[in-house]
Amino acid sequence: MTIQWFPGHMTKARRQIEDKLKLIDVVIELLDARIPLSSRNPMVDEILKGKPRLVLLNKNDLADPKATAEWVQYFADQGLPAFPIDAATGTNVKEILPRVKQLWAHKIEAMLRKGINPRAIRALIVGIPNVGKSTLINQLAGKKIAATGDKPGVTKGQQWIKVGTEMDLLDTPGILWPKFEDQMVGMRLAATGAIKEELLHLDEIALFVIKYMVQHYGAGIQERFGVQDLPDDMDNIQEMVKVMEAIGRKRGCIVSGGKVDLDKTSLIIIRDLRAGKMGRISLEKPF
Ligand code: G4P
């Protein structure tokens, strides 16, 4: 893998977040429902230091509902309220404000007891690049505010965004990188599109996807690509390549001499996975 992890980046983002945390009541941590742990910043617990937190499992339209339910339980067991959303369509987004209010209810009650009129709750959205922060902010604000699809490294202006009268939102200051120096984490991030596929070898990512699919979602491959004979031994690389070749042949990825174009086949597999065309797939499970 060619991605480098620079501790300096993390230190800078950490300082920027710690600076803003003083202004924040509740943190909304956005994760990718298909890979909740791999799409998490490795130092997030340390950085957030016990701030009230709501975990949102985004892109649930693409994730396996059974795995998502298990992840919700996994986070609940750690004392973190969590639930799935689709920021793109707005599914469950209306649930966010009441859940944030629950986390801050004790403070509001205390203010009311003292005769103070409670101000809007100040929430910070944190998440790795591409997890859907801008999309969610736009949904919550009910208009297009944050630029979606921005490349990591492009600084967005800091601004408070009003969600009705009851919540003010701030986007992640600085970039919270995932733990992509871990090979498996890198594969999951590349497969789901959180990092650019050019950073890894396409066929490596596709093989990773096929192996995982054969293991957990064999029917998805059979239905999408019409490949009936799936191998029993997932660790046999030649068997896995045979599956890829069968997919390539079905999809017409043939070069001169009748050989299968594995790069083209790999791209098809990765794009189909990301678009949900093989069904709703989670690439990481808690138990
Ligand atoms: P960021 O601010 O955290 O970096 O993420 P952003 O909102 O820009 O979203 C990244 C991509 O993820 C966008 O696609 C966006 O449409 C997509 N996305 C966000 N929420 C959801 C969701 O709930 N479901 C699905 N299926 N997609 C979602 P994009 O602009 O087309 O970028 P890309 O797909 O080319 O990376």
Q: What is the pLDDT of residues 2-28, one digit of tens each?
A: 445 556 677 888 888 888 899 999 999
45 inside domain: yes
> How many A from CA of 135 to the centre of ligand 1?
6
In this structure, the answer to whether residues 120 and 209 fall within a common structural domain is no
In this structure, the answer to whether residues 29 and 158 fall within a common structural domain is yes
| Domain C-terminal end among 133, 156, 171 | 171
Residue with CA nearest ligand 1 atom 4: 130
Chain-centre distance of CA 147, in angstroms? 18
Q: At what angle do helices 183-192 and 262-274 cross, to 10 degrees?
A: 80
What's the rounded Cα separation, in Å, for the pair 264 and 256? 14
Q: What is the CATH number of the domain that holds 154?
A: 3.40.50.300
135 is in an annotated binding site: yes
- Is a pLDDT exceeding 80 seen at residue 138? yes
User: Ligand 1 pocket, 145 CB below 6 A?
Assistant: no
| Domain C-terminal end among 152, 171, 190 | 171
284 inside domain: no
Length of the chain: 287
HEC string of 125-188?
EECCCCCCHHHHHHHHHCCCCCCCCCCCCCCCCCCCEEECCCEEEEECCCCCCCCCCCHHHHHH
Q: What is the CATH number of the domain that holds 241?
A: 1.10.1580.10
In this structure, the answer to whether residues 153 and 207 fall within a common structural domain is no
279 inside domain: no
Q: Is 179 exposed, middle or buried (0-12, 13-18, 19+ CB in 10 A)?
A: middle
Quote the pLDDT of residue 217. Answer: 94
Per DSSP bridges, beta strands 161-163 and 53-58 are unpaired
Q: How confident is the model at residue 197 (pLDDT cuts 50, 70, 90)?
A: low
User: Ligand 1 pocket, 139 CB below 6 A?
Assistant: no
Residue with CA nearest ligand 1 atom 9: 132
250 is in an annotated binding site: no
In this structure, the answer to whether residues 96 and 157 fall within a common structural domain is yes
244 inside domain: yes
Quote the pLDDT of residue 180. Answer: 73
Q: Give yes or no for a contact between 132 and 59, defined as CB atoms under 8 angstroms apart.
A: yes
User: Ligand 1 pocket, 62 CB below 6 A?
Assistant: yes
Taking the CA of residue 152 as reference, the ligand 1 atom at the shortest distance is 4
> How many A from CA of 81 to the centre of ligand 1?
23
Taking the CA of residue 127 as reference, the ligand 1 atom at the shortest distance is 3
283 inside domain: no
User: Ligand 1 pocket, 86 CB below 6 A?
Assistant: yes
Quote the pLDDT of residue 237. Answer: 87
257 is in an annotated binding site: no
Locate 112 and state its tokens. 């009311």
In this structure, the answer to whether residues 215 and 160 fall within a common structural domain is no
In this structure, the answer to whether residues 228 and 163 fall within a common structural domain is no
In this structure, the answer to whether residues 212 and 103 fall within a common structural domain is no
Q: Give yes or no for a contact between 221 and 209, defined as CB atoms under 8 angstroms apart.
A: no
Q: What is the mean pLDDT of residues 181-188?
A: 90
> How many A from CA of 159 to the centre of ligand 1?
21
> How many A from CA of 127 to the centre of ligand 1?
12
In this structure, the answer to whether residues 75 and 146 fall within a common structural domain is yes
Q: What is the mean pLDDT of residues 230-252?
A: 89
Q: How many domains does the chain have?
A: 2
What's the rounded Cα separation, in Å, for the pair 78 and 56? 14
Quote the pLDDT of residue 6. Answer: 56
Q: What is the mean pLDDT of residues 93-100?
A: 96
In this structure, the answer to whether residues 216 and 146 fall within a common structural domain is no
User: Ligand 1 pocket, 168 CB below 6 A?
Assistant: no
Stronger pLDDT, 112 or 234, i.e. the higher one: 112
In this structure, the answer to whether residues 136 and 64 fall within a common structural domain is yes
**ipTM of this predicted structure:** 0.96
Domain of residue 259 covers: 201-274
177 inside domain: no
257 inside domain: yes
40 inside domain: yes
In this structure, the answer to whether residues 59 and 128 fall within a common structural domain is yes
In this structure, the answer to whether residues 26 and 156 fall within a common structural domain is yes
User: Measured between alpha carbons, how far apart are the two ends of the chain, in Å?
Assistant: 28
| Domain C-terminal end among 149, 171, 193 | 171
> How many A from CA of 193 to the centre of ligand 1?
9
